[in-house]
C-alpha cells in the first residue's frame, strides 16, 4: 500500500520568511496530493491540492510542487504570518480516493 513520509516534523520560521515542507510517496498510482492545515483543536482544512498531470500550483502565498519521477511533493509558504502557525499534513491518493496522510509538520511562526 501507499506510504507517505513528511519532513520536517517541526519547523520554526521568522515572520516574513518562507517555509517549505516536503513529502515523499511510494505508490506510483497515486494521482492526487492535497495539503491540509489543522489549527489546534480544530478540523483539518484543505489549503491547496495538486493532481499528477500538473507540476506546480500556486494560490497567493502558498504553492505546491510535484515531481512524479522522484515521487515527492512540497508545500511552500512565502511571507509567513503568525496565523500560518498550525500543523500541516500532506496526503497521497489514488483514483479510489483513499488517502494516506503524512505524520504532520508543526509550523511555528515567530514575530
Partner 1 sequence: DGGITQSPKYLFRKEGQNVTLSCEQNLNHDAMYWYRQDPGQGLRLIYYSQIVNDFQKGDIAEGYSVSREKKESFPLTVTSAQKNPTAFYLCASQGTSGSRGKDEQFFGPGTRLTVL
Could you tell me the smallest distance in angstroms from the CB atom of residue 92 to partner 1? 12
Could you tell me the smallest distance in angstroms from the CB atom of residue 9 to partner 1? 7
Q: What are the DSSP calls for the chain, one per residue?
A: ---EEEE-SEEEEETTS-EEEEEEE--TT--EEEEEEE-TTS--EEEEEEETT-SEEEETTEEEEEETTTTEEEEEE-S--GGG-EEEEEEEE-TT--EEE---EEEEEE-
Nearer to partner 1, 74 or 100 (CB): 100
Does 46 interact with partner 1 (rule: CB under 8 A)? yes
Does 51 interact with partner 1 (rule: CB under 8 A)? yes
Does 30 interact with partner 1 (rule: CB under 8 A)? no
Which residues make up the interface to partner 1 (CB under 8 A)? 6, 9, 31-32, 34, 36, 42-46, 49, 51, 89, 93, 95-104
Amino acid at each position: 500500500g501507499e506510504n507517505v513520509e513528511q519532513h520536517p516534523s517541526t519547523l520554526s520560521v521568522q515572520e516574513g520568511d518562507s517555509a517549505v515542507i516536503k513529502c515523499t510517496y511510494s505508490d506510483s498510482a497515486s494521482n492526487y496530493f492535497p495539503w491540509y492545515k489543522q489549527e489546534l483543536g480544530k478540523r483539518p482544512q484543505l489549503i491547496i491540492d495538486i493532481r499528477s498531470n500538473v507540476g506546480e500550483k500556486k494560490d497567493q502565498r502558498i504553492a505546491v510542487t510535484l515531481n512524479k519521477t522522484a515521487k515527492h511533493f512540497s508545500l511552500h509558504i512565502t511571507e509567513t504570518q503568525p496565523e500560518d502557525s498550525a500543523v500541516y499534513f500532506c496526503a497521497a491518493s489514488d483514483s479510489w480516493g483513499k488517502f494516506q496522510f503524512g505524520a504532520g509538520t508543526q509550523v511555528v511562526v515567530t514575530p
